[in-house]
Amino acid sequence: MSTLSAFADAPVVEVPCYLCGSRDAGRLFQDGPYGVWRCRSCSLVYTSPRLGSAAIREIYQTAYWQSDQARDFGYTNYLSDRPLYLKTFRKRIRVLTRRKARGRVLEIGSAGGFFLEVARERGYEVHGVELSAWMADRARERLGRTAVTTGTIEDVKAAPGAVDVVALWDVVEHREDPLPVLVRARELLRPDGLLVLETQNIESCAARLMGRRWTHFKQLEHLYHFSPRTITRLLHQAGFRVLELSAARAGKYVSIAFLIERMQRISPLLHKLLVPLRPLGRLSCYVNPRDEVIVVAAVEPAATAR
């Protein structure tokens, strides 16, 4: 049974707009039982109906990281791409080092710990939390048994104001209720601490041009599709002030095999033209379609969350 078919009969729930609570939304498209909507009040794009809480937690266990249908769900083999993730994070971490060169870093959704590896290289003290027990074990094999906690940010045992940086790479769009995650991150940060996150940009040229073929429309996992305006609003509700929002370093090093796989969704014709390159599949290149953004935010003094 494929990963996607395993959830074909899972219960789904309808939800209003997360940012403003409105139920006045226009449907962008329907994908099986899942609808993708744009709120007419605040413009947040979100999935409804979507999987229930129990199923959402279940999808991020082992199958997510070794998916047989990665163009629609998860990763083909996340761990095998470690060298590419390390190269990607060595490029991205400059966003952080130019503002805060040292300190204690906490990554939410740390997966295999690849960002934490790079942060440790740069001299940071690193800690992570990962929902998948299997993936957290893989991270601990490299980083040490106390470096990564299995669970969510609520399971992190740290005092308020104990952390210099909280990082969330491709996380907020996956969480049913991201606001408490960000509020807890704010509580853990020092007054001069920084939040660094990456998420997709629904208002990017790539998203507009590809429409429903956009590679980030993966309805099981991507519950929200933020724009610069809506992610800024969410961060403000959590008590943060945006310092920087840019697509400049939001690209990734990817393999030729990955490009061929994703092209099946974008253009069947281009996919056929690229198939002869499969023998070069492990070669890699840096790709930045500028449809994701990296946001750096500071703790707002005397912040009050929603």
Same domain? 155 vs 131: yes
Which pLDDT score is estimated for 182?
98
In a domain, 60, yes or no: yes
Same domain? 39 vs 93: yes
Angle formed at CA 293 by CA 288 and CA 299, multiple of 5 degrees:
150
Handedness of CA 209, 228, 124, 148 (dihedral sign): negative
Which pLDDT score is estimated for 155?
92
Secondary structure (3-state) at 192: strand
Choose among 279, 183, 295, 185: nearest CA to 230.
295
Same domain? 135 vs 279: no
Which pLDDT score is estimated for 279?
66
Same domain? 236 vs 268: no
**Beta-carbon neighbour count of residue 217 at 10 Å?**
23
Same domain? 108 vs 222: yes
Give the N- to C-terminal CA distance of the chain in Å, as an integer: 42
In a domain, 305, yes or no: no
Secondary structure (3-state) at 225: strand
Same domain? 112 vs 143: yes
In a domain, 222, yes or no: yes
Same domain? 25 vs 101: yes
Which pLDDT score is estimated for 228?
98
Same domain? 283 vs 247: no
Residue pair 192/7 in contact by the 8 Å Cβ criterion: no
In a domain, 176, yes or no: yes
Tell me which DSSP letter residue 217 carries.
-
Which pLDDT score is estimated for 255?
87
Question: Mean pLDDT, consecutive 10-residue segments, the chain of 306 residues?
Answer: 67 96 98 96 98 90 84 86 97 96 97 98 98 96 96 93 98 97 98 98 97 94 98 98 98 84 66 63 87 97 60
Which pLDDT score is estimated for 304?
47
In a domain, 162, yes or no: yes
In a domain, 99, yes or no: yes
Same domain? 10 vs 32: yes
Same domain? 236 vs 270: no
Residue pair 63/6 in contact by the 8 Å Cβ criterion: yes
Query: Domain holding 103: CATH number?
Result: 3.40.50.150
* Structural domain that includes position 273: 252-287
Same domain? 30 vs 41: yes
Same domain? 71 vs 42: yes
In a domain, 304, yes or no: no
In a domain, 225, yes or no: yes
The number of folded domains in the chain is 2
20: tokens are 């403003």
Residue pair 119/100 in contact by the 8 Å Cβ criterion: no
